[in-house]
């Protein structure tokens, strides 16, 4: 056996990157989470070649000061938690302080940022983990992060990237899910200069459903709410039993607004739809669990997509009850579509289709943009009805 040594920083960073960053979509996820944590009301994602050539995420959030922007590139540098105890009360999407250095370790990363109240912005460039330039530069308030040369220094990972349409569809999926859980934030996603998806940020989750799946689907969604007062609240939308898909990929689950994978909610849905849908068909669903952060552990996996609940049963029961109630009342109520849906934009390129589910719970906060208005690259875009893959329906 050789001697034990502490790994060099660049090796450690690459190992961490292996856990957090495995494809363009995981980079988009981390960058958008940072934008949301920064309080952005507008988040724009621009991609080239499915993100393989370029990913740019621009927000109008709080921005960073020079020292913070440089420090943020260090591992375990975070403004979001301070002490181990904070891990038990996480209210932000990020907390591990690993995303930026991990991404920077396997790409060329540029940050252009301007903090609130600052006269000028700053630009920092990191190439393969080393800061190569940091200078003052004019910038609107907020932050823009651009990632290029992805995995140029990790050929093994580069090999595993899928074709552009596949990588793109993962990102479309993801951005739609963010838009569902943050209806008060205006999201835009473009690919090779073409608009792919946009949400209004109106605060009304049904507008996001319309933008993502079209009015037809939005009309078939039933509101779900287990009610206030209990330690666990489950809200959201589920589809009428006549509207199903052949996979679960149109089911989205969020815990305290964080997109998660959890078998508990999957099982609750299966149970609620028993007898309503045939085997092999799955309802569309978008469920939001609100629970005291102290009883949920999100520090289970580096991607923060897995969670553990202290009271799994309560979560299961609340979801089951809420879904059953919605289904039982299904013939009584049709959800009213929000007004002015025609403002939603949905443009899809051939072969791309978002595979996701519906909307979230009411959100606090207003959608009013703050700070510098970003130029609107989508202005004048032709609006048309979405063509999302709608399984045959009818009741
Ligand atoms: N878009 C952004 N706007 C403002 N601050 C940001 C942004 N992205 C990153 N930061 C700052 O950089 C820090 C490090 O980010 P990251 O590596 O993703 O770790 P984490 O999100 O876990 O704190 C964050 O804590 C935050 O202070
Ligand atoms: Mg982060």
Sequence ranges of the domains in the chain: 9-161, 205-328
Residue 305 banded pLDDT, cuts 50, 70, 90 = confident
pLDDT surpassing 60 at residue 345: no
Q: What is the pLDDT of residue 353?
A: 41
pLDDT at res. 87: 64
| Predicted pLDDT at 271 | 95
Mean pLDDT confidence for 376-385: 32
**Helix H or strand E segment including 146:** strand 142-148
Pocket test for ligand 1, best of 28, 94, 178, 372 (most atoms within 8 A of CB): 94
Q: Which atom of ligand 1 is nearest to the CA of 98?
A: 17
Predicted confidence band of residue 17 (pLDDT cuts 50, 70, 90)? low
Nearest-atom number in ligand 1 for the CA of 81 is 23
On whether the CB atoms of residues 237 and 358 are closer than 8 A, the answer is yes
Q: How would residue 141 be classed by pLDDT, with cut points 50, 70 and 90?
A: very high
Please provide the average confidence, as pLDDT, over all residues in the chain.
Answer: 80
Region 9-161: CATH code: 3.30.565.10
Q: Is the CB of 79 under 6 A from ligand 1?
A: yes
Give the pLDDT mean for 344-353.
Answer: 40
342-355 average pLDDT score:
40
Burial of 30 (0-12, 13-18, 19+ CB in 10 A): buried
**Angle formed by the axes of helices 205-213 and 164-181, nearest 10°:** 160
* The pLDDT of residue 331: 67
Evaluate: CB of 30 within 6 angstroms of ligand 1.
Answer: yes
Give, as residue ranges, everything with CB less than 5 Å from ion ligand 2.
Answer: 34, 94, 99
Q: For 93-98, what is the mean pLDDT?
A: 74
Q: How far is the CA of 149 from the centre of ligand 2 (A)?
A: 20
- Closest by CA to 252, choosing from 339, 336, 361, is 361
Per-residue tokens: 224: 């779900």
Across 6-28, average pLDDT: 77
Among 26, 77, 4, which Cα is nearest to 305's? 26
Between CA 248 and CA 261 the distance in angstroms is 11
Q: How far is CA 325 from CA 314, 320, 330, 341, in A?
A: 16, 8, 8, 27
| Spatial distance between the Cα atoms of 391 and 395, rounded to a whole number of angstroms | 12
Q: Do domains 9-161 and 205-328 have the same CATH topology?
A: no
**Is residue 213 within 8 Å of residue 388, measured between CB atoms?**
yes
Rounded CA gap, 120 and 274, in Å? 59
Question: Which CATH architecture is the domain 205-328 placed in?
Answer: 2-Layer Sandwich (3.30)
pLDDT digits (tens, 9 = 90+) for 239-252: 999 999 998 888 98
């Amino acid at each position: 056996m050789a001697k034990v040594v502490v790994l060099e920083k660049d090796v450690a960073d690459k190992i961490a990157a292996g856990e957090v960053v495995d494809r363009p979509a995981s980079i988009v996820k981390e960058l958008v989470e940072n934008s949301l944590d920064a309080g952005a009301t507008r988040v724009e994602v621009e991609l080239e070649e499915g993100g393989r050539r370029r990913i740019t995420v621009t927000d109008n959030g709080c921005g960073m000061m020079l020292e913070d922007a440089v420090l943020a590139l260090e591992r375990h540098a975070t403004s979001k938690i301070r002490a181990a105890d904070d891990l038990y009360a996480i209210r932000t999407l990020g907390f591990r302080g690993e995303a930026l250095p991990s991404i920077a370790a396997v790409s060329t990363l540029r940050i252009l940022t301007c903090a609130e109240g600052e006269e000028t912005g700053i630009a920092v460039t990191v190439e393969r983990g080393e800061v190569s330039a940091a200078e003052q530069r004019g910038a609107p308030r907020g932050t823009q992060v651009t990632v290029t040369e992805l995995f140029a220094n990790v050929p093994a990972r580069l090999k595993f990237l899928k074709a552009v349409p596949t990588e793109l569809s993962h990102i479309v999926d993801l951005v739609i899910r963010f838009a569902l859980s943050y209806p008060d934030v205006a999201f835009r996603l473009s690919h090779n200069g073409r608009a792919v998806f946009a949400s209004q940020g109106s605060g009304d989750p049904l507008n996001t459903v319309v933008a993502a799946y079209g009015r037809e689907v939005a009309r078939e969604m039933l509101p779900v709410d287990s009610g206030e007062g209990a330690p666990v609240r489950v809200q959201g939308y589920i589809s009428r039993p006549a509207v199903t898909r052949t996979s679960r990929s149109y089911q989205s689950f969020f815990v305290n607004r964080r997109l998660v994978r959890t078998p508990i909610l999957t099982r609750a849905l299966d149970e609620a739809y028993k007898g309503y849908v045939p085997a092999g068909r799955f309802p569309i669903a978008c469920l939001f669990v609100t629970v005291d952060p102290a009883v949920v552990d999100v520090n289970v996996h580096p991607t923060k997509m897995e969670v553990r609940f202290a009271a799994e049963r309560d979560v299961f029961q609340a979801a089951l009850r809420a879904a059953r109630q919605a289904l039982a009342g299904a013939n009584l109520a049709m959800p009213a579509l929000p007004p002015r849906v025609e403002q939603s934009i949905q443009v899809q390129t051939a072969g791309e289709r978002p595979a996701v589910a519906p909307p979230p719970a009411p959100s606090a906060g207003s959608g009013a943009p703050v700070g510098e208005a970003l130029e609107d690259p989508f202005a004048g875009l032709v609006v048309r009805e979405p063509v999302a893959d709608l399984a045959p329906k009818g009741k």
